[in-house]
Amino acid sequence: MQIDTSQNSTFDSLRVDFIKGYTNLQIPNLQINYVNTLQSIKSKDEIRLQEQFFQNIKDKLRNVNITVLNSDQLLDFHVMTYETALNLERIDIEKQWNPNSKLDDSKSIFTIQNGKDWYAYLLKRWVDINVSPDELFEFGLVEIEKVKSNMTRIQEASGLSKSDFKKHLNDVTFFFNNPNDVKTAFIRIKKEITSKADKMFPYIYDIPNVRIERGTNSSLSQVPAYYTNNTFYFNFFDTLFNKRQLGWFYAHEAIPGHHYQSAVNNIIKRTEIQDLFWYPGFVEGWGAYVEYLGNDLGVYKTIYDEYGKWEWDLIRSVRVSMDIGINYYGWSDEKALTFWKQHIKAQDDIGIREINRMKRWPAQVITYKYGADVILKLLEKAKRGKNFDYKKFHENILKNGDIPLSVLRILAASEEG
């Protein structure tokens, strides 16, 4: 049978036109602070040019016969379709924007002109194009109950009553008072994960070494640890370090989390179109997903190590519904804090900090939970098949680097059949 390659050539021309046109438009990158995003909106003439470009791409994509595309072309087709739809949605809101509007990131995006529309768009940009605020609000409520159920399971496994278990969590044995001990513990976890990761994850031997250092940036002191430039930093300033934060935090930030995933992005073959974009729903979702593998990776040595993962997971779950409440339903700070206190006790200072964060950075906090949920559902489905293999599963998830979560689903479904 003779294969007609004319469609492929036509599509390759479309790819070239997309790269050239998108690059020439110099569309501002997404800013984490919504005020910065709105302040970067282009002039009406430039917005009109953007609209013409994306509408033209949309029309051409309608005529593409995807059945003749190779795997790289098909991926680019999905990414172009995704970005075209999302940019046209943004442009519709930007055309209504008054550039003289006063902006204040101490107030939620709900308070600005077309605030609900802006939030719904940012939610899609940060998380995935197929999500909606109402859907994710309910998702957050479901996740809260799931996490609470796991926390109760562990409390019951301890053999302690609820009150005694709560008291035990504050025992001095759960805390480090010496930063050298913290570093030693993280080095031990690194060795433990290294001994098991090659059986679960591809490319492990191609990943650069990740350093472990004590953080010195006091502006980041509100988080126990963070990752940047091939280095995993743990924070030890004026409070003791909770041992229950060791395993899941290292997995999330280092290997097999952000350090590993970002390195894989540099190992695999990515197309020029892919390199134009990054998808935080995938990136943060991956980091949160690998925390669920703590038992397989050998870092949850006790039920309390696992409990530490659920303690922070509860915060992430509560934040999903809170973020939507604040930025889409227009909750006051008082109502948001009441919701926080309903689910998380004796941590009001963290709740107030998170409320302020969500007002400045709408939708960002939802990336962790939603992205992890997408990958976990794909894992659950893969495990139902014959001859399940973690390494093969992760290779399939990572082989294209960070891509939109809905595109990840499409590609996974197409590979099944």
> Residues 75-114: pLDDT tens digits?
999 999 999 999 999 999 999 999 999 999 999 999 999 9
Cα 286 to chain centroid, rounded? 7
Residue 73 has pLDDT above 70, yes or no: yes
Residues 6+ apart with CB under 8 A from 198: 204, 205
Residue 263 has pLDDT above 60, yes or no: yes
pLDDT in tens, 123-172: 999 999 999 999 999 999 999 999 999 999 999 999 999 999 999 999 99
pLDDT of residue 3: 44
Residue 417 has pLDDT above 80, yes or no: no
Residue with tokens 């309608």: 62
Contact 77, 107 (CB under 8 A): no
Residue 5 has pLDDT above 60, yes or no: no
Residue 414 has pLDDT above 90, yes or no: no
pLDDT of residue 222: 81
The stretch 320-345 carries a mean pLDDT of 98
- Bridge partners (DSSP) of residue 227 are 232
Choose among 200, 197, 201, 307: nearest CA to 247.
Answer: 307
Contact 294, 244 (CB under 8 A): no
Q: In the 8-state DSSP scheme, what is residue 299?
A: -
pLDDT band at 392 (very low <50, low <70, confident <90, very high): very high
Q: Which residues of 230-251 are buried (b: 16+ CB within 10 A; e: fewer)?
A: eebbbbbeeeebbbbbbbbbbb
pLDDT of residue 7: 67
Choose among 150, 268, 153, 254: nearest CA to 202.
Answer: 268
Choose among 292, 388, 397, 361: nearest CA to 123.
Answer: 361
Contact 314, 151 (CB under 8 A): yes
The stretch 250-255 carries a mean pLDDT of 97
pLDDT of residue 115: 97
pLDDT band at 6 (very low <50, low <70, confident <90, very high): low
pLDDT in tens, 224-248: 899 999 999 999 998 899 999 999 9
Give the separation between CA 260 and CA 254, rounded to whole angstroms. Answer: 6
Choose among 265, 255, 268: nearest CA to 211.
Answer: 255
Residue with tokens 């035990």: 168
Domain borders along the chain are 6-103, 134-416
Give the separation between CA 312 and CA 371, rounded to whole angstroms. Answer: 16
- The single-letter code of the amino acid at 163 is S
pLDDT of residue 2: 40
pLDDT of residue 238: 83
Residue with tokens 């006091």: 218
